[in-house]
Homo-oligomer: A and B are copies of this chain.
Amino acid sequence: MKTISTDKCYGGTQGVYVSRSDACDCDMTFAVFVPPQAAERKLPVLWYLSGLTCTHANVMEKGEYRRLAAELGLVIVCPDTSPRGDHVPDEPDNWQFGKGAGFYVDAIEPPFSTNYRMYSYIVEELPKLVAAEFPADMTRQGIFGHSMGGHGAITIALKNPERFRSCSAFAPICHPSVSGWSRPAFEKYLGSNKAVWRSYDACALIEDGRRFPEFFVDQGGSDAFLADGLRPAELKAVCAAAGVKLTLRMQEGYGHSYFFISTFMDDHLRWHAERLAGEVEDCSSAGAFRSGPGGKENIL
């Protein structure tokens, strides 16, 4: 692992690092925020998965997570969203596929299967590096993300419920195997076998019996991608049918950008901090879960 940069921020350290990824057959860049409490003990780890076109930098610059993460004592890990490099196959004019659009799957179709293995990178490879290099208590992990990264967070939590204590999302792609936004990418990465598609689809995973204790989702009411790309109503219906607890808040007037994400970042950090408290440490300083401005539950 090589350090690209470290900056003191809110008493902690925001770092950017690069490491060779065997899963993706390329160098992968990621950001880690280590709060000041890490000088004394290992801390819970919260994974943030970004959306289409993003690198590690978008949420690092615009997500506004450090103030409260420093207060709550959360290590925040922000990976890239795809393999990178000149040798990585891409469709440069397609923002919904290729570089910046790994969809957190392990591709099985050539030529993408060599590099586009973001599922293995996020679930297997990067956690080992984080455990080895940072003051991270890997018994206490949560995961969240935005849009394509919200899809990543929910599907990874459903497939690894023993790993994560908490999962939330901002405007997640809830039903990617049917959404016009993601279905073409699934076809190119995963081929024509719909059973494989379902293994990377939040709604389908729940329909097929996967479970996670509870989800917390914020969705902007003025998000242009709500109806086709994101489909939170379908996640709500599937969760209701399966008895999976879902807190879904429609935030009226909010869009799909980091102006939306940053507004509700505090709520998500507190949600995770409460659930990542436990035997090792009392996180009661996280305080009660507080609703953001205009938050309404389950109105979809």
Residues of chain A whose beta carbon lies under 8 Å from any beta carbon of chain B: 7-11, 14, 36, 61-62, 64, 66-67, 222, 253-255, 257-260, 262-263, 266, 293-294
| Minimal Cβ-Cβ distance residue in B for A254 | B8
Q: Are B257 and A7 in contact (CB under 8 A)?
A: yes
B residues in contact with A259, CB < 8 Å: 7-9, 14
Q: Are B61 and A64 in contact (CB under 8 A)?
A: no
15 contacts between A and B (CB under 8 A): A7-B257, A7-B259, A7-B260, A8-B222, A9-B262, A10-B263, A11-B263, A11-B294, A14-B259, A36-B293, A61-B62, A64-B262, A66-B262, A66-B263, A67-B263
B residues in contact with A222, CB < 8 Å: 8
A24 to B254, CA, bound (A): 35
Q: Which of A7, A10, A255, A262 has the most CB of B within 10 A?
A: A7
| Minimal Cβ-Cβ distance residue in B for A9 | B259
Further pairs besides A9-B260, A11-B263: 7, Cβ < 8 Å: A8-B259, A8-B263, A9-B259, A36-B293, A61-B62, A67-B262, A67-B263
Partner of A62, one of B62, B257, B263, B293: B62
How many Å from the CB of A39 to the closest CB on chain B?
13
How many Å from the CB of A191 to the closest CB on chain B?
39
How many Å from the CB of A29 to the closest CB on chain B?
17
How many Å from the CB of A49 to the closest CB on chain B?
20
A36 to B252, CA, bound (A): 14
Interface pairs A-B: 9 shortest CB-CB: A9-B259, A7-B259, A11-B293, A8-B253, A10-B263, A8-B254, A64-B64, A61-B62, A9-B263
How many Å from the CB of A16 to the closest CB on chain B?
11
B residues in contact with A36, CB < 8 Å: 293
A262 to B9, CA, bound (A): 8
B residues in contact with A62, CB < 8 Å: 61-62
B residues in contact with A66, CB < 8 Å: 262-263
| Minimal Cβ-Cβ distance residue in B for A10 | B263
Partner of A64, one of B67, B257, B293: B67
A262 to B67, CA, bound (A): 9
B residues in contact with A61, CB < 8 Å: 61-62, 258
B residues in contact with A14, CB < 8 Å: 259
A222 to B80, CA, bound (A): 29
B residues in contact with A9, CB < 8 Å: 259-260, 262-263
A255 to B9, CA, bound (A): 9
Partner of A293, one of B7, B10, B253, B263: B10
A7 to B263, CA, bound (A): 11
A66 to B265, CA, bound (A): 13
A289 to B10, CA, bound (A): 17
